[in-house]
Structure 1
């Protein structure tokens, strides 16, 4: 009787050992998968064309670029300072009425900022001067509602284009919760991509060149692209 019990107990121990090994392998596989995801920003693999696209310039396989975010205007100023001169920063409403956002032809543009911020989903504004000290300071915006910002930007861009005054080039760079338009050199604008941003363009029928990548923005008719107009 004792022999049968010993055999049964030994069998149970073998089964438990096998289960333990399986669990360890599974955890290791899971850990490797998590490490791989963390290493590429939590993304799946991009397309097989070698440039991360489906061949038509769109980002492939759900591999959308990971956009950066900021904690506020001060952090946005520091971020922009990594690629371009950002002197005399200011968050004063007198300094932060922005062409393309506000009705800067109006003497009451500053007084209308609160309403404009609500319309555009703007949380904070800041500006700073480029190296040339021009009157066109960098336009830096912390966004509380990016879909609202894109919708307002799209409406403004379409309106200006229809009036023959619009710019179809990609000028605004957006992260997850901020937007920036910098007045700098072409190379500095291209360097904006290294900060975790993409260019926002809502011009009707806009198509980025074939050697670039695009992905859908939050609003229909708008795209995010890594193409920077020189």
Structure 2
């Protein structure tokens, strides 16, 4: 499985760097390219408003992997990393980088937060170390809204001297995933038809990597995985 994933990742990166996009370039010094197709269970192809890909039409996101729901998302992520003890309970799916207040208070506010962030469904699962934080998996109904909210949250944390500029979230056509795993597992996420989302001000990936303008101005998609 690892060998197949490595080959798939290599082809994904070659496809990303070989094709020049007409949508516009990323940050200065970066290259823009075609997004990798969905693999290992993810569906690739264009989406349309109303099917969980609102705001993605015509952008690089429309060429990323797509899932039908949380069950398929869990199966997809399982191709890159361990994903056990799956839960969709509100108290299990309150995530510190999205929700505010305590776990109990944030759980009560999930419907409001989901609407603000364009989140359709939430699910979490455990990695190899069950004592660590679980993977954060989201099915997205409006990717533009998700990127907008994420950009505002990331800027606020940086302004407060918290957080960092590392690429933490991987997105597909209609999902977002933050996994707590090894660097190798994070790189395997690229073989699933995802790219890293980063909205840090003035973020620039290393020269050997590739970036593409995301839906929201000031956000980019990259095939660079921070070590």
TM-score higher than 0.5: yes
Which segments of 5 or more consecutive residues in structure 1 lack a partner in the other structure?
1-42, 48-52
Does the alignment pair 1:212 with 2:209? yes
**CA drift at 1:99:** 1.4
Among candidates 127, 131, 136, match of residue 128 of structure 2? 131
Instruction: Provide the TM-score with structure 1 as the length reference.
Output: 0.74
Counterpart residue number, 1:16: none
Does the alignment pair 1:58 with 2:31? yes
Over alpha carbons, which structure has the higher Rg?
Answer: 1
Which consecutive aligned stretches of 4+ in structure 1 deviate over 6 angstroms post-superposition? none
**CA drift at 1:118:** 0.1
Q: Which one has a larger percent helix, Structure 1 or Structure 2?
A: 1
Q: Deviations over 1:15-65 (max 9, x none)?
A: xxxxxxxxxxxxxxxxxxxxxxxxxxxx9x715xxxxx9x932215xx344
Change (3 A) 1:64 1:137: closer
**CA drift at 1:134:** 2.2
Instruction: Provide the TM-score with structure 2 as the length reference.
Output: 0.75
Residue pair 1:97, 1:104 contacting (<8 A) in 2 also:
no
Among candidates 138, 143, 155, match of residue 141 of structure 1? 138
Among candidates 179, 184, 187, match of residue 187 of structure 1? 184
Using CA pairs below 8 Å that are at least 6 residues apart, which structure has the higher relative contact order? 2
Does the alignment pair 1:161 with 2:165? no
Does the alignment pair 1:199 with 2:196? yes
Aligned length: 180
Q: Deviations over 1:116-148 (max 9, x none)?
A: 000000000000000111240000000000000
Query: Cα RMSD over matched residues?
Result: 2.0
Distance in 2 (CA, whole Å) between partners of 1:64 and 1:127 is: 26
Question: Does the residue aligned with 2:124 lie in a helix, a strand or coil?
Answer: strand
**CA drift at 1:104:** 4.3
Counterpart residue number, 2:88: 91
Counterpart residue number, 1:176: 173
Distance in 2 (CA, whole Å) between partners of 1:114 and 1:58 is: 38
Which segments of 5 or more consecutive residues in structure 2 lack a partner in the other structure?
1-15, 21-25, 37-62
